Amino acid sequence: MGSIAPPANPPQFLIIGAGSRGHAYARAVEASTSGRVAALAEIDPFKRQEFGKRYIWGREGTPAEHECFDGWEEWVDWESRRRQNTDKAGGSEPSYIPITGVFICTLDETHAPIIRAIADFNLHILCEKPLALSLSDCVSISSSLSQYPRKVFSIGHVLRYSPHNILLRKLLTSDQVIGEVVSIEHTEPVGWWHFSHSYVRGNWRRSTPEGVGSLLTKSCHDIDFLLWLLCSPSPLTGDRPHLPSTVSSTGAITQFRQARKPKAAGTATNCLSCSAEPVCNYSAKKIYRGRWLRKEKDTGWPLKIVVPEIEDIVAGQGWDAAEKRLMDRLSEDYDRQTTPDDLIASRGWYGRCVFDSDNDVVDDQTVTMEWDDEPLRDQEIGRGPKRALFHMTYPTQAQCERRGWIYGTEGEIHYDSHKISVHTFATGTTIVHDIPKQAPEVEKSHGGGDWGLAGAFVQAVQKVDEGTMDVAEAQRQYVGDDLDEIILSHAAVFAAEEARREKKVVHWADWWNRNGTTTA
């Protein structure tokens, strides 16, 4: 914010969910915006206290009634009563500044119920991706919010907001440095151990009842990224979306299944009791104790996911005590025959054998989107035939450091997470755009995307609340998309997953007519 004075009435935000995403957005709001994290709703007592002390009431303070809630339902009840009492009293309490916006950072399946529950409060909303686990829930969110005056709405599609990708889109659409796009190859290398942590042992290892899995929970913002480049209104494509004509996808569980379990493992289901552990790449002991606790001495992600209180244990009791608590957690296991499935599904099992888990999401997947020629009057380029190939894969050294090639009529672009190389056919020259290094705290948050997203949302909220912009203008100038476009990019994911499951090509116009809404 530099030397700019803070606003007299800074936006007040509620964070729902004090996990890694809640912390990421709270840090971004605190450090780079005029907003204030004013309240928290979180079901876990330890996470609730840790977060509140860090961002709201301070290490030595205690929470006020309006600052701390045991889950989002408790806050909804409290806010409902507050509004009723305020209406009866004929005005607001002078000492309380109402919440103006909400960051939803809970597990994916809770997003739709939370948004529907708070719709009546008519607040600005930033929801972590994905918006919902089904297209019908996305539609219900739109329907719920449409009944009230429009507010700023944003989604955790952080790839749109990193300096790297903002420059990439400018080069492609505004500067048109390679002419019209012919095709894109975009890869998300998830990382070999990262996939095992989050999508085999962790919270995102099971697909939805509709059969939607890691493409939605891990890579929906990659599909959104491609649509942002090729489909969204821009100086290259014009002022209306150039929609795909077909969507197809293939994918499989290539590694994390019982057929790959080492014979030496026998019947063991936990790394701590497995004879194959010393030679297994996915040993929980090697990953969590050896790689992070002993070498990195880092109590952040992923150790904090396994043992949320590990930072306090290190501070109060030392590293040996932290190691003991970690190993105790890794030793926890279940028996498929006797442990209720709802208990198994309710949490992560970070010491579980990756070849004998309850995961069912694919670890290697491709999505192909095709666009037909759609010429517009007085426009020579931008809406011609093109295709995008997305590849999500697990066995990579790189961890989420996306890379790709864009082929155009006048040149080609190669990008990774740090630089963008533009080669022009006419001159034979290659210009390399190096992205300036950011502070480590910013850089590790999706290349600055978390901070850019939070900043854009808070600025839009501030402009609307102070009356200097209407919602549509603030949404367009700062957020960059709206709920209709958010639902459209999610729909592309659901279409791709249907194509994968049924081994078919989805024809977008027909599919959308059957499954879509008035948002297109």
Token duo for residue 247? 């969507």
Contact 411, 424 (CB under 8 A): yes
| Per-residue model confidence (pLDDT) at position 9 | 79
Domain ranges of the chain: 12-151, 163-256+360-445+485-515, 258-345
85's CB contacts (< 8 A; 6+ apart) are none
For helices 135-145 and 111-118, the axis angle rounded to 10 degrees is: 10
* pLDDT at 185 exceeding the cut of 90: yes
Q: What is the mean pLDDT of residues 156-161?
A: 94
Q: Does residue 356 contact residue 261 with C-beta atoms inside 8 Å?
A: yes
Q: Which amino acid is at 348?
A: G
Say how many C-beta atoms besides its own lie within 10 A of residue 76's C-beta: 18
Q: pLDDT (tens digit, 9 = 90+) per residue, 235-262? A: 888 888 899 999 999 999 999 999 999 9
Mean pLDDT across 171-188: 96
Q: Is the dihedral of CA 173, 178, 183, 184 positive or negative?
A: negative
Q: What is the pLDDT of residues 421-436, one digit of tens each?
A: 999 999 999 999 998 7
* Banded pLDDT at 72 (limits 50, 70, 90): very high
**pLDDT at 5 exceeding the cut of 90:** no
The C-alpha angle with vertex 114 and arms to 111 and 119, in degrees rounded to 5, equals: 120
pLDDT in tens, 13-71: 999 999 888 998 999 898 878 899 999 999 999 999 999 999 999 988 899 999 999 99
Q: At what angle do helices 508-515 and 483-502 cross, to 10 degrees?
A: 110
Q: Kindly state the average pLDDT of the residues 100-104.
A: 97
Distance CA 406, CA 424 (A): 12
Could you tell me which residue, 34 or 419, shows the higher pLDDT?
A: 419
DSSP 256-299: SSGGGS-GGGTT--BGGG-TTGGG-TT-HIIIIIIIIIIII---
The percent of residues in the chain predicted with pLDDT above 90, rounded, is: 81
What is the rounded average pLDDT of the residues 361-365? 97
pLDDT tens, 125-138?
Answer: 999 999 999 999 99
pLDDT digits (tens, 9 = 90+) for 438-496: 655 555 556 678 888 999 999 999 999 999 999 999 999 999 999 999 999 999 999 99
User: How confident is the model at residue 518, as a pLDDT?
Assistant: 44
The predicted structure's pLDDT at residue 344: 97
Residue 511 CA from chain centroid, whole number: 26
Crossing angle of helices 319-330/310-317, nearest 10°? 140
Residue 372 neighbours by CB distance under 10 Å: 15
Structure tokens at 442: 């910013």
Q: Is residue 366 within 8 Å of residue 391, measured between CB atoms?
A: yes
Average pLDDT over residues 363-384: 86
Tell me, which fold does domain 163-256+360-445+485-515 have in CATH? Dihydrodipicolinate Reductase; domain 2 (3.30.360)
The torsion defined by the Cα of 130, 133, 134 and 138, in degrees rounded to 10, comes to: -50
Q: Would you say residue 357 has pLDDT above 90?
A: yes
Q: What is the mean pLDDT of the chain?
A: 92
What is the per-residue pLDDT for 421?
A: 98
Asked whether residue 519 carries a pLDDT value surpassing 50, the answer given is no
Q: Strand pairing partners for 507?
A: 246
Of 299, 263, 460, nearest to 452 by C-alpha is 460
| DSSP assignment string, 149-199 | ----EEE--GGGGSHHHHHHHIIIIIS-TT-SEEEEEEEEE--HHHHHHHH
C-alpha 469/C-alpha 488 separation (Å) is 25
Say if residues 447 and 417 touch (Cβ distance below 8 Å). yes
Read off the pLDDT of each residue in 391-410 and give the average, rounded to a whole number.
96
Task: Work out whether strand 68-69 and strand 36-41 pair parallel, antiparallel, or are unpaired.
Answer: parallel
Distances (CA, A) of 438 to 353, 431, 443, 451, 504: 38, 21, 6, 11, 43
* Coil/strand/helix, residue 389: strand
Domain 12-151 part of CATH 3.40.50.720: yes
Neighbours of 62 (CB within 10 A): 10
Confidence of residue 378 (pLDDT cuts 50, 70, 90): low
